[in-house]
Amino acid sequence: MRRRTKTTIFVYMLLIGIILWSLFPILALVKASFSPSRDLLAYPPKLFGSLTFENFRTLSKDWGKFYIGMLNSVLITLGSATLTIIITLPTAYAFSRFARTKIITNSAAMLIIARMFPPIVITIPLYPVLNSLNLVDNHVVLIVLYTAFYVSLGTLTMKSYFDNVPIELEESALIEGCSKIKAFFIILLPLSTTGIMSVGILVSIFAWKEFLFAFLFTTSLAVTAPVVLNEMLGGMFGVSWGPLFAAATIHLVPISILIVFSQRFIVDSKMLVREK
Q: Output the average pLDDT for the chain.
A: 82
| pLDDT confidence tier of residue 246, bands split at 50, 70 and 90 | very high
**What is the structure's pLDDT at 109?**
67
Torsion of CA 99, 100, 103, 105, to 10 degrees: 50
- Which pLDDT tens digit goes with each residue over 5-24? 777 888 889 888 888 888 88
- Which pLDDT tens digit goes with each residue over 192-216? 888 888 889 889 998 999 998 999 8
Is 57 within 8 Å of 243 (Cβ atoms)? Answer: no
Q: Which of 225, 246, 256 is nearest to 30 (CA)?
A: 246
Q: Which of 263, 258, 273 is nearest to 207 (CA)?
A: 258
Domain boundaries, the chain: 63-275
Stronger pLDDT, 250 or 116, i.e. the higher one? 250
Which of the residue ranges 76-90, 138-152, 232-246 has the most confident prediction, judged by mean pLDDT? 76-90
The total number of residues shown for the chain amounts to 276
CATH architecture classification, 63-275 = Orthogonal Bundle (1.10)
**What is the structure's pLDDT at 265?**
59
Is 123 within 8 Å of 132 (Cβ atoms)? Answer: no
Q: Tell me the whole-structure pTM to 2 decimals.
A: 0.83
pLDDT at 276 over 50: no
